[in-house]
């Protein structure tokens, strides 16, 4: 989510970029003029280092402004640059410019908060319905916490404890089937202390034995909750994991600082 300072910084950067993209020579070009001429001096040709430099910065900053593009009027932005570079008196006072920047930034924040609240409610409703229907399917079991699971392959050996370290392969998906993480795709299993992951994993993996493969359906309260794990996992998201328990280490070392696990993403 954009914070006020980030919005204002993005607008300031955009101003700098527009200045970089102005053709040399001080002409008072109008929006659309570049499309009407084949003049080799236009930045669209990218024939000089300054043009390439300006375009590269402009493209990156433009991408950073994509989330607020509905509030940016490029011709007005260009006009502000032209008049400032020419030394003209600003049409808005310093106070007026600060007020409008703060007002637009506040409006953007309010919309983002409203959109997030709506997404959180939709995700919760969708998750509740999915879990209620899923619990009725053959082979799906539900624990006291609300965790649902299916046994795809049963292994052998001792069940891990929360204090153990485990090595697993896994795939995590949203309810629409979108895969947000997969050790299979990376071609490498992951190891971590079982106590250091999201609650649904800590509980679910303890039901498994080495060599087994389970499918877990995690209510948001057992996953990333109302916060979610942006940008891939929205607030109140119910998640689906396929987990293959490879091995259990009964004497796990301390977790390294900053280690990536299903809890810390």
The DSSP line for 56-72 is HHHHHHHHHTGGGGGG-
pLDDT of 53 reads: 86
For the chain, the C-alpha Rg in angstroms (whole number) is: 27
Beta strands in 58-212 (DSSP E): 141-142, 148-153, 165-173, 179-182, 190-193
Predicted pLDDT at 32:
40
Q: What is the pLDDT of residue 262?
A: 61
pLDDT digits (tens, 9 = 90+) for 140-149: 999 999 999 9
Looking at residue 4, what is its pLDDT?
Answer: 43
Q: What is the Cα–Cα distance from 186 to 170, expressed in whole angstroms?
A: 10
In the chain, alpha helices (H): 4-21, 49-64, 74-85, 94-134, 183-186, 199-205
In this prediction, residue 146 carries a pLDDT of 97
Write phi, then psi, for 166 (nearest 5 degrees).
-125, 155
Instruction: Tell me the domains of the chain and their CATH numbers.
Output: 4-91 (no CATH), 141-249 (3.10.50.40)
Check: CB of residue 242 under 8 Å from CB of residue 212.
no
* pLDDT for position 73: 84
Query: In the chain, which stretches have pLDDT less than 50?
Result: 1-5, 7-9, 11, 13-41, 252, 257-260, 264
pLDDT given at position 77: 76
Give me the half-sphere count of Cα atoms (radius 13 Å) on the Cβ side of residue 30: 1
């Amino acid at each position: 989510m954009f914070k006020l300072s980030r919005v204002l910084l993005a607008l300031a950067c955009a101003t700098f970029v527009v200045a970089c993209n102005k053709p040399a020579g001080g002409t008072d070009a109008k929006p659309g003029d570049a499309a009407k001429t084949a003049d080799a001096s236009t930045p669209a040709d990218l024939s000089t280092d300054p043009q390439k430099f300006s375009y590269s910065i402009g493209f990156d900053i433009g991408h950073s402004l994509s989330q607020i593009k509905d509030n940016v009027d490029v011709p007005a932005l260009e006009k502000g640059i032209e008049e400032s570079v020419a030394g003209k008196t600003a049409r808005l006072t310093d106070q007026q410019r600060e007020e409008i920047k703060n007002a637009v930034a506040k409006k953007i924040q309010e919309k983002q908060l409203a959109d997030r609240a709506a997404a959180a409610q939709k995700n919760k409703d969708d998750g509740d319905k999915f879990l209620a229907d899923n619990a009725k399917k053959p082979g799906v079991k539900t624990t006291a916490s609300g965790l649902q699971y299916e046994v795809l392959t049963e292994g052998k050996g001792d069940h891990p404890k929360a204090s153990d370290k485990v090595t697993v392969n896994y795939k995590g998906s949203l309810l629409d089937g979108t895969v947000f993480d997969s050790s299979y795709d990376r071609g490498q299993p992951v190891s971590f202390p079982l106590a250091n992951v999201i609650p649904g994993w800590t509980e679910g993996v303890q039901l498994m034995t080495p060599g087994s493969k389970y499918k877990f359906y995690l209510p948001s309260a057992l996953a990333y909750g109302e916060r979610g794990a942006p940008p891939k996992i929205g607030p109140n998201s119910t998640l689906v994991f396929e987990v293959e328990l490879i091995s259990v280490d009964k004497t796990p070392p301390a977790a390294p600082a900053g280690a990536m696990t299903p809890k810390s993403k």
